[in-house]
Structure 1
């Protein structure tokens, strides 16, 4: 099966976890697009969805799904999103689409966070994929220099502006033996809004598309 086919079956499997008359959070990315396609078929069973990006909002609207502002909800029963990488601790690397700040907010709002991914995203050690960090334009060079001090190699994502009006630095070669601590260190840099390490709010369930079908990986209670 192709990567796209594996993403599709993982995304479709997430539909079974949606409660009737609920509001859910929806992430951003190629796997999430397949989820929205599947969600369209049961759109009358849900109240609506809170998107993690303007792109996702447009996709939801095109599917006829009611789009809600996150400021109108105090909690989400479910948040569904993809990942660039994940490890055995269910820690994730996200941000390939540059929406990690809003994605992290929705993940924290949610009682349950389901990650949908194909089997190529599983890694023994996360960090092979570059780590995206949203940065205030005013602080871009300063943040880049601070990252170099951490032994990372920052690269400015030229021409990309986040939905929050900021820029993205993609960090390569960052030592990530302790994702939990590194997530905090990156957040502590003045001008760095949010990064793509999801080590504090990990996934609760990973639906993994494999050549043998969808595998359910359940996180141990923390």
Structure 2
């Protein structure tokens, strides 16, 4: 496997090693999750690793199928033994921003069913305050999209409706839109999350709270494993 980012590879390798035969595993979306899935495909071929994956996006499902990883839909399983996914930002309280890839709602539904929730990142994704390096994705109904955008702006956000490279509207796998919101960096993201979710048209936000048990942080030649306080 060609590896352009050694830190990402180290993190993905450590995460993939957590999977044991017989497990039902949530498979996240994004570049780090995709690398982890590729490594799981290697283990399946080399070791005969026997597990079932539950994908969080159509792109993840396509990748897993190409590697002969058996898949189930979420409603076909009772729960997950493990969830493996990346994050765009993680603070010291294990609060996260996710959704740069546009799969935030499905990712949140899947991770919420897992008994052990593992987040895979590289060191630059750790931040003092959420929103420091990237906007907050907010998944919204297409109906009244621009009115929802105005209401988000009324909360103090600089907003942009996400589009694809050709200028067409970006759609999630669920057929929804994404509005990326830049807020002043806040010490109270929970309150902001509540305000956002009260807006009619908002389906969910890229804030993920209480959804990380183990943080795997990749560095160029070593890996840091940090258990969330509630798991210590």
Shorter chain as denominator, the TM-score bin is: over 0.9
Contact 1:23 1:46 in 2 (8 A): no
Q: Equivalent of 1:161, from 161, 164, 171?
A: 171
Cα deviation for residue 45 of structure 1 reads 2.1
The answer for unaligned runs of 5 or more in structure 1 is none
Q: Note if 1:150 corresponds to 2:155.
A: yes
Note the aligned Cα RMSD (angstroms): 1.6
The structure-2 alpha-carbon separation of the partners of 1:174 and 1:152, relative to structure 1 and needing over 3 Å to count, comes to farther
Cα deviation for residue 174 of structure 1 reads 4.5
Give the match for residue 109 of structure 2: 105
How many residues in Structure 1 have an aligned counterpart in Structure 2? 220
Cα deviation for residue 62 of structure 1 reads 0.6
Give the match for residue 193 of structure 1: 203
2:100 is paired with a residue of what secondary structure?
A: coil
Which stretch shows the higher mean deviation, 165-174 or 26-35? 165-174
Q: How does 1:61-210 map to 2 (within 5 A)?
A: 61-128=65-132, 129-158=134-163, 159-199=169-209, 201-210=210-219
The structure-2 alpha-carbon separation of the partners of 1:85 and 1:186, relative to structure 1 and needing over 3 Å to count, comes to same
Cα deviation for residue 211 of structure 1 reads 3.1
Give the match for residue 12 of structure 2: 11
TM-score, normalised to structure 1, is: 0.94
The answer for unaligned runs of 5 or more in structure 2 is 164-168
- Tell me, in whole angstroms, the C-alpha distance in 2 between the residues paired with 1:132 and 1:14: 25
Q: How does 1:5-44 map to 2 (within 5 A)?
A: 5-43=6-44, 44=48
Cα deviation for residue 175 of structure 1 reads 4.3
- Tell me, in whole angstroms, the C-alpha distance in 2 between the residues paired with 1:193 and 1:30: 24
- Tell me, in whole angstroms, the C-alpha distance in 2 between the residues paired with 1:154 and 1:32: 27
Q: Equivalent of 1:54, from 45, 55, 58?
A: 58
Q: Note if 1:215 corresponds to 2:224.
A: yes
Task: List structure 1 runs of 4+ shifted beyond 3 angstroms.
Answer: none
Contact 1:134 1:167 in 2 (8 A): yes
